Amino acid sequence: MTDTDRFAQAPGDPYRYGVYLRPDPATCAAVTTVTAQLRAQYGLVSAGAFPPHATLVGSRHLPVAEELIVDAVSAAVADVPAFTVHNAGVRRMGVGLVYDVHHLADGTTPNTAFTALAARVDAAVLPLETPAPNPAPHPFDEARFRAHLSLLSHDMYVRPELYEEVEQYVLGLPVPFPPAFPGDTVALYRTRSEDWSGRWWTTLSWEHVRSWRLGD
């Protein structure tokens, strides 16, 4: 990809769509408490720029009528039962920190219900997607999929020297969270940024579009 491609405008800019598993209220409160603390103490905003969520598909460029996106996700989740999500606590992931919700209660066996749900949603929205040159594409890869709730993310590309200090800060926060919660709510969000090719999280805004209750 050339710089010209990377910074080019694409049809549907500046919108992207994400389909997320919404945690229970207590877990959502834990996530927002941690991200609010990181903003208050260090000015770190990337993880807190989103609603608390575990990504099923993220930042997809879907320049079609929104009703078509809703219909596609509705069909994907129509017969999917709710499942239990286990939270193993704060873990490192990439350049950031997350609540690790990828495994079963044993902490080692992947929660295949999570991966299967993500695969279904990906298959549903993929025909609606038009590749955009910015930001980087987010193709679904079952082998690489890791269910997580972000606490600290893209800011660390800019401030990597803070990582060790921030990790200790997060581990020291007295923030309780449930060890498990029902994975029963899927939500579609529309996101917008003024500059998807740069530090998009500094101008990110979002709107909730629709929720679905699994098993209904």
For CA atoms 11, 18, 145, 153, give the dihedral sign.
positive
Write the pLDDT tens digit of every residue in 22-79. 999 999 999 999 999 999 999 999 999 999 999 999 989 999 999 999 999 999 999 9
Total domains in the chain come to 1
Write the pLDDT tens digit of every residue in 70-97. 999 999 999 999 999 999 999 999 999 9
Q: Report the alpha-carbon distance of residue 109 to residue 146 in Å, rounded.
A: 12
Does the pLDDT at position 11 exceed 60? no
Residue at 202 is within a domain:
yes
Residue at 4 is within a domain:
no
3-class SS of residue 23: coil
Residue at 6 is within a domain:
no
Contacts within 8 Å (CB) and 24+ apart, 138-145:
138/57, 138/58, 138/59, 138/60, 140/57, 142/115, 142/118, 145/115, 145/118
Q: Report the alpha-carbon distance of residue 85 to residue 114 in Å, rounded.
A: 8
Residue at 3 is within a domain:
no
- What CATH number corresponds to the domain at position 101? 3.90.1140.10
Residue at 141 is within a domain:
yes
Residue at 204 is within a domain:
yes
Show the domain range for 53.
12-213
Give which of 5, 95, 64, 82 is closest to 190, Cα–Cα. 64
Residue at 2 is within a domain:
no
State the Rg of the chain over Cα. Answer: 17
Q: Cα 125 to the chain's mean position, in Å?
A: 16
Residue at 188 is within a domain:
yes
3-class SS of residue 67: helix
Give which of 56, 52, 88 is closest to 73, Cα–Cα. 56
